[in-house]
Amino acid sequence: MKRLIILTAAIGLFSFYGCNANNEKKNKVEVKKEVKSENKEEGKVHHLTKAEFLEKVMNYEKNPNDWKFEGDKPCIIDFYADWCRPCRIAAPVLEELAKEYAGKIDIYKVDTQKERELAGAFGIQSIPAFLWVPQKGKPQMSKGIANSTEATKEMFKKMIDEVLLVK
């Protein structure tokens, strides 16, 4: 009987430590995946909250009268809503452009339904609305999209070249 109890205890301990070792290995793999995914963030459209906007684009609470860009690359900010058909048409175009211009510009989205204060701070009354923010100089606002996906992409590329990536 003692042998059975000792054997059961030993099996339990080995199982416990074996599972722990697997969990530690799994955790290391997950950490590596997180690091890789952070590096892959370029080339993607990022959704911004107000707090992230204040940190990455402009802190209008700290500097209400002066435009001070907080980013390290020019960016496009898409003010949108999920129910907006033109916004849904623009979304895949912005995804393509994020990949095409990876490392050169950032593309952000702000959900006007969730971030009402942020949308109000920029006077967004109709969507889609796009804030074009060059590295230096003042941003420009544009509204609406072209009548086709191809024309919308060409319109965006023209604005990127003329407003954001001006040399």
Distance, CA of 5 to chain centre = 56
Q: Answer for the pair 111, 53: CB distance below 8 angstroms, yes or no.
A: no
Q: Is 84 a catalytic site residue?
A: yes
In a shared domain, residues 16 and 83? no
In a shared domain, residues 35 and 50? no
Q: Which amino acid is at 108?
A: Y
In a shared domain, residues 25 and 107? no
In a shared domain, residues 22 and 57? no
HSE of 117, CA atoms in CB hemisphere, 13 A? 8
In a shared domain, residues 33 and 51? no
pLDDT for position 149: 84
pLDDT for position 108: 97
What confidence tens digit (pLDDT) does each residue in 130-151 have?
999 999 889 999 998 887 888 8
Helix (H, G, I), strand (E, B) or coil at 131: strand
In a shared domain, residues 13 and 28? yes
The boundaries of the domain holding residue 15 are: 1-40
pLDDT for position 21: 39
CATH number at residue 153: 3.40.30.10
137 is written with which tokens?
């100089």
The total number of structural domains in the chain stands at 2
In a shared domain, residues 28 and 108? no
In a shared domain, residues 27 and 57? no
Q: Closest Cα to residue 136, out of 114, 157, 165?
A: 165
In a shared domain, residues 159 and 129? yes
In a shared domain, residues 68 and 1? no
Q: How far apart are CA 82 and CA 74, in angstroms?
A: 25
Q: How far apart are CA 32 and CA 9, in angstroms?
A: 35
Residues of the chain with pLDDT under 50: 1-40
Q: Which of 81, 84, 89, 146 is catalytic?
A: 84
In a shared domain, residues 90 and 134? yes
Q: Is 87 a catalytic site residue?
A: yes
Q: Which of 48, 57, 87, 131 is catalytic?
A: 87
In a shared domain, residues 49 and 115? yes
